[in-house]
Amino acid sequence: MNDEQLHAMRHSLAHITAAAVKRLWPEAKFGVGPVVENGFYYDIDLGGQKISEADFGKIEKAMRRIVTEAQDFERFTMPIDEAIAWAKESGQPYKEELLNDLKRSGTTVAKDLESEELGTIAEGDAAVSEVSFYKNGDFTDLCRGPHVANTKEVGAFKLMRVAGAYWRGNEKNAQMQRLYGVAFATQEELDKHLEMIEQAKQRDHRKLGKELDLYTGSSLIGAGLPLFTPRGTILRDMINDLAQSYRIKNGYEKVWIPHIAKLDTYKTSGHFEKFPELLRFTSTESGDELALKPVNCPHHTQIFAGRPRSYRELPVKYLETTTVFRDEKSGELGGLNRVRAITQDDSHVFCSEDQIEDVFAELIESAQAMYELLGLKLSLRLSFRDDADNYLGDPKVWENAQNAIHALAEKFGLEYEIGIGEAAIYGPKMDFMATDALGRKTQLATVQLDYALPERFQLEYTAEDGSKKRPIMIHCALLGSIERFLSIYIEHTAGWFPLWAAPEQIRILTINDTVTDYVKEIEEVLRGVVLMEPVKYNELRFTVDDRNESLGKKIREATAWKIPMQLIVGTKDKEAREVSVRTQTGEEKVALNKLAEYLQQL
RNA sequence: GCCGCCUUAGCUCAGUUGGUUAGAGCAGCUGUUUUGUAAACAGCAGGUCUUCGGUUCGAGUCCGAAAGGCGGCUCCA
């Protein structure tokens, strides 16, 4: 089955789903029912009634009946006005709205339509004279097609979930129920897909975060405020050290800023104007209105502005991993991926026009090197502005900045896609999207070019000729948010972190207590080992399991904890002055006097 | 924020149409066992069934609200 056939099949299943729902709830009003990755959905309005997953059985049964009834999909056309009348008569107001949009503009795609016109009744000349319908059995639907010829040709399917969705994606509109299904040509492919979902669940960072004791949440502290345990904190620190190391190599200097600032800061930066509801305030006795910082850049600009600057010290490169606070809507929070206290491995460069390229080059190389080391594949998105008017700064400057980024991507021979409307409020971005083990893409690293904030904060330096010039800012986070990065990384590794990053790197497992003294010697060796790659001064983290338990149990537990290296020590090892090094890939004997060297080389 | 679902011991889960003292495995503690490659054996202890309010002779079970979580929608500097 080719992609087109698969698409037609999934689309046909959307119709069959709607037809089944209509049999069960004749008063159902229908929205749209498109094909999505791996399946389809249909938006349904049952008035006060709600479909729940408990209803899936009977809906699927009705769908199967329609399949066995072997109904032909018949295509026919209707003049647009007749179609509008049909929608009205059949009590399908959502279809009526779509038809009016078609009549007026020739499209039903909400973002291509003038928002004031959306859903209004079309007057005057029609943009489309007739529209196509598909009919199977007694179910007729406005549809461009194509479909399979007959309902019996639909392959294997399963309803997955029901969720709320706003009509036409606008939160001011009515909320409908979106019925999601997956569909494949064969039962085997469907089973394979369901199996993959099951595997994804096994490596879900929320599950592993609990099992590996990395972080926890507290309903007392609040939603979206993860608390990191000792193990999780080690992982955080190691990852952060790695991300910082690339920039420290390139002359970035660490700075430190407080977590609050006067509200005026964000009035100056423009953040208050755009995101007033996301800033949290504290009132103070002094009368200052203070906000928790939602971004770090304004603070960093003030370090730059703290004394006069000469062209000789440019580029000035600041680096800081620090937490920003954003009051995300409650329903948007989830795991570590979306939190309200976001820790960024942030850096800001203040430079002159002719230094932009070098700064970008360093950062692009760093991002590529780091993600290659971590085994995550990066793809590039150039995030440009759209026509909205809430961006800061002169559109001409924007155009220059976007052209500059575009040219840099070309110059470095990077493959990229362009994301319109994905820019930051103050400038265009080069976003690195990581693809995880399950093929999902998430934006992590970001490099942003900014002419707006230096202007707003009146930053300047003295040029060679004695004149005052405005620096350009380059924002960068290689990890993005540490929390979000970890959510991806935990799932990518399934909790099997590399030796250098693992919270507990080595566990010594004893066979009985005759080896106690020998274990002390091994510990002495391990204490002397300090890893220097990829993070410097990384002292070995190990524990000893000398409990009165069977070796089998100790191995089982150490493996469940996904500890990269188990050192098994028994009387035979003691006599041979060796240890048995057990890793995921197998087991080997290493002489005690070679152990330090062995570990250094990994 | 919106729609739907979920919340029982530290963890994973049982708990019949509302009906006696709410169960299990793992973890914990106490013994015994000193163990060579993924769970030794026995005993003990552990719960205001998320919280608050309601219906009822009686609520883990029904209703309402809140908190937290999950799946989406919307949003994401």
pLDDT in tens, A242-286: 999 999 999 999 999 999 999 899 999 999 888 876 676 666 677
Q: Which of residues 377-436 of A touch strand B (CB under 7 A)?
A: 424-425
From the list A15, A103, A178, A429, the catalytic residue is: A429
Nucleotides of B under 7 A from a protein CB: 1-5, 11-12, 27, 32-40, 67-77
A348 is a catalytic site residue: yes
How would residue A116 be classed by pLDDT, with cut points 50, 70 and 90?
Answer: low
CA of A586 to C1' of B38 (A): 14
Q: Span A134-163, mean pLDDT?
A: 91
Task: Report, as an integer, the average pLDDT of A426-439.
Answer: 85
The model's pTM is: 0.93
Distances (CA, A) of A382 to A209, A416, A455: 32, 7, 23
pLDDT-based confidence at residue A327 (cuts at 50, 70, 90): confident
Write down the pLDDT at residue A47. Answer: 80
Is 80 exceeded by the pLDDT of residue A173?
A: yes
Q: Which residue is nearest to nucleotide B33 (CA to C1')?
A: A548
Alpha carbon A463 to its chain's center: 42
Which residues from 297-356 of A have any strand B atom under 7 Å from their CB?
326, 328-335, 338
Between A144 and A317, name the one with better pLDDT. A317
pLDDT at A130: 86
Give pLDDT, residue A117.
Answer: 59
From the list A244, A344, A402, A566, the catalytic residue is A344
How much is the pLDDT for A585? 93
Residue A111: pLDDT over 60: no
Question: Is strand B within 7 Å of residue A224 (CB)?
Answer: yes
Backbone φ, ψ for residue A587 (5° rounding): -135, 140
> Residue A119: what pLDDT?
58
Q: CA A331 → C1' B62, Å?
A: 28
Phi, psi (rounded to 5 degrees) for A495? 90, -5
Distance CA A353, CA A573 (A): 64
Residues A456-494 pLDDT 10s: 999 999 999 999 999 999 999 999 999 999 999 999 999
What is the distance between the alpha carbons of residues A153 and A528, in angstroms, rounded to a whole number? 68
Q: Could you say which of A309, A326, A338, A562 is catalytic?
A: A326
Q: Determine the Cα–Cα distance for residues A133 and A501; give it in Å rounded to an integer.
A: 58
First and final C-alpha spacing in chain A: 47
Does the pLDDT of residue A169 top 80, yes or no?
A: yes
Q: Any catalytic annotation for residue A297?
A: yes
In this prediction the ipTM stands at 0.94
